Structure 1
Amino acid sequence: MTVLEITDVRVELFNGKGGLVEGCIQNIDRAALDFVALENPKLVLPQSTQWHVFSAFGTLKGGRADWLVEKCTELGASSLTPLLTERSFAISENRVDRLQRVILAAAKQSQRLHEMKLNPPMKIDGLLPLVAKSKQCFTATAEATPLIHALTSVRDESSGDSGLIIVGPEGDFTAKEMRMILEAGATAVGLGPHRLRVETATIALLATVMLWSDSQQMVSP
C-alpha cells in the first residue's frame, strides 16, 4: 500500500452544524488519512441574519434547480423550501437527495460552517401561518413596488435580522394563491421591468435582502 507522508499541512474540518476544529494532515493512503487536531473543537453560532427561502422550483429542468440551491447556499440562506403550487406541484425524492449533495458541496466551497437546511416540500396552506408570524416577508410579483423602495421604507431595524422570501413558479402564482399570501401579511415587491425565471428571481431577491440585512447590522448601535 502506498502511503504519502505529509508534514504541517494545516486544515480545518467542519460538520455543517457550526462545529470547527483546526489540525494537520500527517499521512494519506488510498483508504484514509491521518488527521491530528491542534486545538479543541469549537462551536460557532449561526449568523444573526436568518432569511428563509420558499421557491416553487420543483419542476425546473436542465440543472436549473441545482443552480438555485447552490447559490442560495453560497449567499447564506438559512433554509430553502420547495413550494408546491397549482403550477409547480411536485418534486421527486431522487432530486431531493441530489440537492442535499449540492448543498454540501456549496457549503464547502463557500466555507460556510452551517449548512443550509433543505425542508420538505410545502403547500401554500402550510406557508400562510409562517407568513403571518414573520417580521418581514417579501414575495416577488410583476408591477409591484420595487424591492429597494420596500426595503428603504422599513423603519424597524430588527426587521433586517430575519424574514421570508417567496418566489412563485413559472407562470407565477394564480390570482387566488397571490391573494392568500398577501392577505397573510406578505409584501409584494418588484424586481425590475423584465420577466425573470424562477431561479433568477429567487437569487436576485435573496442577494438583495442579504446585503440589506448586512448593512442594517453595520449601522445598528
Structure 2
Amino acid sequence: MQRYFVNHRENDHFFITGDDYHHITRVMRMNVGDEIICVDPDGKAAQCKLVNITSEVVELEVVQWIEKNVELPVDVTIVSGLPKGDKLEWIIQKGTELGAHQFIPCMSARSIVKLDEKKANKKKDRWQKIAKEAAEQSHRIIVPHVYGPQSLQQLLEISKNYDYKCVAYEESSKQGESSAFHQVLKGMSRGDSLLFIFGPEGGLTEKEITLLEDEGFISCGLGPRILRTETAPSYVLSAVSYHFELME
C-alpha cells in the first residue's frame, strides 16, 4: 500500500496537494474508495480511504490508525564530507532506509565539491525529496531532516546537542582498533543520540581528526577492510540496527 507524508490533517481527515496529489491522481491513477497510508507531521500513521478528489486536492478519511513503530530506538545523524557525483544522494537514500534520523553534508578539507549558496539550496531541496521518497518506500513514520552544507566549525556547534559523537577514521582500522564503536553502542540507551562523521574521498585530515577528538569525538575503525565514503554510513547504521533491534 502506498504511503505518503501529509502536512494537512483535520481530525480524521487528511488533505493532499502538490506533487503527491499529482502522484496519486496521474501516476497511480487512484479513485475514490482506494486506500493508502498517510503519516502526519507528528509521526502518526493511518490507513486511509480516498473520499473526494478535486482539481487540486485529494481528501482522505481514516479507516484505522496504525500503532506500529519502525524507527530505530536511538537517533543517528550521519555527517558526510561532501563526496563527488551523486554519492551523497545514495547515502541519503540508503541511510533513510536503514533508519537514519538526520543527514548533515560537511565541507571538509579534502572535499572536491564546492557549492555556492544558490547551488547548495537547490541541492538541499533535492536531498530532502530523496529522503522523503525513501522514507515512504521503507515505511518510516518520520522523514529524516537533511541540513544544507555545514562547515566543520558549524558542525562542532551542532555536535554539542548529542549524547555520543564518533568519527570514522581509517588509520584506526589500519592500526587494528576494533572495539571503540562496539563500546559506544554498549554504552548507549534507548532514546540516546549519536552523531557519526564520515570523510569524503581521501578521508579526513589528521588536523581535522585531532580537532574532532579535542571536542570529544571518538575515533572508530570499522573493521579490517577500508570502506568507501558511500558504504561506511550503511555499515554503521546496520550495526546500530543489529545491536538495538536484532539482539533484543
- Give the whole-Å Cα distance in 2 for the aligned partners of 1:4 and 1:134: 43
2:84 alignment partner AA: L
Runs of 5+ unmatched residues, structure 1: none
Partner of 1:13: 38
1:93-172 map, 5 Å: 93-131=121-159, 134-144=162-172, 149-154=179-184, 156-158=187-189, 161-172=192-203
Partner of 2:47: 22
Runs of 5+ unmatched residues, structure 2: 1-28
Secondary structure of the residue aligned to 2:179 is helix
CA deviations on 1:109-130 (whole Å, 9 max, x unpaired) are: 0011110010122211122244
Secondary structure of the residue aligned to 2:207 is helix
Secondary structure of the residue aligned to 1:52 is strand
Q: 1:10 to 1:181 in 2, by over 3 A?
A: same
More displaced stretch, 133-142 vs 95-104: 133-142
More displaced stretch, 128-137 vs 114-123: 128-137
8 Å CA contact 2:70–2:141 kept in 1: the answer is no
- Give the whole-Å Cα distance in 2 for the aligned partners of 1:136 and 1:4: 45
State which of 84, 90, 95 in structure 1 corresponds to 2:114.
Answer: 90
More displaced stretch, 135-144 vs 13-22: 13-22
Partner of 2:14: none
- Give the whole-Å Cα distance in 1 for the aligned partners of 2:54 and 2:80: 43
Number of matched pairs: 212
CA deviations on 1:79-126 (whole Å, 9 max, x unpaired) are: 100011112263433222211111111011001111001012221112
- Give the whole-Å Cα distance in 2 for the aligned partners of 1:37 and 1:94: 35
- Give the whole-Å Cα distance in 2 for the aligned partners of 1:138 and 1:167: 9
Q: CA RMSD for the aligned pairs?
A: 3.3
Q: 1:47 to 1:16 in 2, by over 3 A?
A: farther
Is the aligned partner of 1:35 residue 2:60?
yes
Secondary structure of the residue aligned to 1:143 is helix
TM-score, normalised with respect to structure 1: 0.78
Is the aligned partner of 1:77 residue 2:108?
no
8 Å CA contact 1:135–1:159 kept in 2: the answer is no
- Give the whole-Å Cα distance in 2 for the aligned partners of 1:102 and 1:86: 26
